[in-house]
Amino acid sequence: MRSRAGWHTSPHDRFAPPRPRLSFQEGHRRKFLVVIDDTPECERALVYAAKRAERTAGAVVLLHVIVPEDAPQWLGVGDVMRAEALAEAETMLARTVDRVRAIARVEPETVIREGNRADEILRVIADDADIAILVLAAGIDKDGPGPLVTAIGRASGTFPIPVTIVPGQLSDAEIAALA
């Protein structure tokens, strides 16, 4: 069963039951997952996750999801578009890795997935038992907190890990003081 937000809500779906988190077991460390995109609030989540990971001897996982085009592709155009999207994702993540290094003494992991954003977030969480917290930030414009925060809010009762939502209006210094 799928909710309207796209999150799986049935305890019998392919993402449930959640895999036990191992982040506090010997040889493991807690990882903060940040979804990287071109929204302004992404930077707020990134600052929080990097500072929190540094302070708690954790790690940061940067996830970028390439959402495939729905339009039919002819004569290899789809392959070209996919290659361009992958190159853009790699460039975006490289800049983000540099930003994390500038914020904190943390060496982030990067993950690129293709598909539905909600499904890929859940798959990354399912694949890595050290991911313990999803960090998002709320948008501050008139359209509301943003699609990911809205979707997570709807699925919060069945989401497999805790979610930290950073207020979008906070400065880097304010976020660092809270992390």
CATH value of 31-178 in 3.40.50.300, 3.40.50.620, 2.60.40.10, 3.40.710.10? 3.40.50.620
Q: Out of 43-47, 156-160, 167-171, pick the least confident.
A: 156-160
* pTM (two decimals): 0.83
Buried b (16+ CB within 10 A) or exposed e, 124-161: bbeebbbbbbbbbbbbbeeeebbbbbebbebbeebbbb
User: pLDDT of 44-102, one tens digit each?
Assistant: 999 999 999 999 999 999 999 999 876 666 667 778 888 899 999 999 999 999 999 99
pLDDT at position 71 is 61
